[in-house]
Amino acid sequence: MIEKITLLITVTLSGLVSAQAREYAPLPQLQAYQVPEAWRQPVAPLQVADHTWQIGTAELTALLLKTGDGAILIDGGMPQAADHLLANMKKLGVAPDDLKLILHSHAHSDHAGPLAAIRRVTGARLVSNAESAALLARGGADDIHFGDGIVYPPVQADRLLQDGEEVTLGALTLKAHFIPGHTPGSLAWTWRDRRGGKTVEVAYVDSLTAPGYQLLDNPHYPHIVDDYRSTFETVRGLPCDLLLTPHPGASGWKYGEEAVQRESVSCTAYADSAEKKLDGQLAEERSKKAG
Ligand SMILES: [Zn+2]
């Protein structure tokens, strides 16, 4: 009897499916997103300045700042990088408990991907701002430009900063600079370190790109171009002896056997080239609209 019922249901269901298939195409397969291999290529810890190390992958920056009172992580790269980051921390003598603070550039999966895992394992406090915290809490879903295309494990911020606020751990003080554009919550961080026996103002400045973004009349971000413009001004004014960026190539860095800055890119040059690119993109968008 049971067999008969099952058979009946099967027949009815398949009949339904084929009847509907005439009207509607099947729903799509689930599909995860992919990124270049260099973004996933682990590298050994690379020293950038006395307290500052790059512990991420060949082409995604994750900075570990060591102080006498524990360490700070800025960015993590892709979601799958968590174990690699913890291993690199261990190589530098930083136990999970020693990580006290997690900061970030912006809340996209290629920079904030493993922050939930790192926060869970280490107990470090995640420091963000209101705009980024909202995006982090929904794991990158409902992104202004990418929709649900690049989601990652959601993570809760423990402290929200205002523009210009500072974070101190041990002898290091980092200042948060709001630089909206790439995301509404994009951040730059500046701090003082030493390199080659000299004091250097280090600036870790978020992406200034607009990859495939709708810049004109974007209903989800009406003032996006104004934000980019004021951000370029902010970036030009940062203390910036040594510029680092989430995508190292953007500031002339190559992470290989050691961390090498092949060309010294100033914050002003970084902002200038980003503005030129944005202007080109705007011109293209305008001509498409007109044509
Ligand atoms: Zn991004």
SS (H, E, C) the chain: CHHHHHHHHHHHHHHHHHHHHCCCCCCCCCCCCCCCHHHHCECCCEEEECCEEECCECCECCEEEEECCEEEEECCECHHHHHHHHHHHHHCCCCHHHEEEEECCCCCHHHHCCHHHHHHHHCCEEEECHHHHHHHHCCCCCECCCECCCCCCCCCCCEECCCCCEEEECCEEEEEEECCCCCCCCEEEEEEEEECCEEEEEEEECCCCCCCCCCCCCCCCCCHHHHHHHHHHHHHCCCCCEEECCCHHHHCEEECCCEEECCCCCHHHHHHHHHHHHHHHHHHHHHHHHC
CA distance 4 to 90: 61
Rounded mean pLDDT, 62-86: 97
Distance 274 CA to ligand 1 centre (A): 14
pLDDT of 166 strictly over 60: yes
In this structure, the strands spanning 46-49 and 52-54 are antiparallel
Q: Which residue has the tokens 């951040």?
A: 187
Reference 46, options 37, 57, 31; nearest CA is: 57
The whole-model pTM stands at 0.89
Mean model confidence pLDDT for the chain: 93
**Which residue among 51, 104, 108, 177 is the active-site one?**
108
- Residue 248, pLDDT > 70, answer yes
Higher pLDDT, 143 or 28: 143
State how far the Cα of 275 lies from the Cα of 208, in Å rounded to an integer.
Answer: 8
d(CA 182, ligand 1 centre) in Å: 6
What is the average per-residue pLDDT within 136-160?
96
Of 29-38, 102-111, 138-147, 239-248, the one with minimum mean pLDDT is: 29-38
Kindly report the number of other CB atoms within 10 A of residue 214's CB atom: 14
Overall average pLDDT of the 58-80 stretch: 98
Q: What average pLDDT does range 265-283 have in this prediction?
A: 98
pLDDT higher than threshold 70 for residue 8: no
Could you give the angle at the alpha carbon of 80 between the alpha carbons of 78 and 84, nearest 5°? Answer: 100
Quick check: is 51 catalytic?
no
Confidence of residue 255 (pLDDT cuts 50, 70, 90): very high
- Which residue out of 152, 204, 213, 270 is catalytically annotated? 213
What's the mean pLDDT in 158-172? Answer: 98
177 tagged catalytic: no
Give residue 12's pLDDT: 46
74 or 22: which carries more pLDDT confidence? 74
Q: What is the distance in A from the centroid of ligand 1 to the CA of 17? A: 40
Question: For residue 64, which amino acid is it?
Answer: L
* Position 143 pLDDT exceeds 80: yes
Residue 10: the pLDDT is: 44
| Angle (nearest 5°) at CA 208 between 215 and 223 | 35
Residue 24 catalytic? Answer: no
pLDDT for res 23: 84
108 is an active site residue: yes
213 given a catalytic annotation? yes
Q: What is the mean pLDDT of residues 210-229?
A: 98
Q: What is the pLDDT of residue 65?
A: 98
Confidence category of residue 245, pLDDT binned at 50, 70, 90: very high
Ligand 1: centre distance to CA 3 (Å): 54
pLDDT band at 202 (very low <50, low <70, confident <90, very high): very high
| pLDDT at 93 (0 to 100) | 98
Position 205 pLDDT exceeds 50: yes
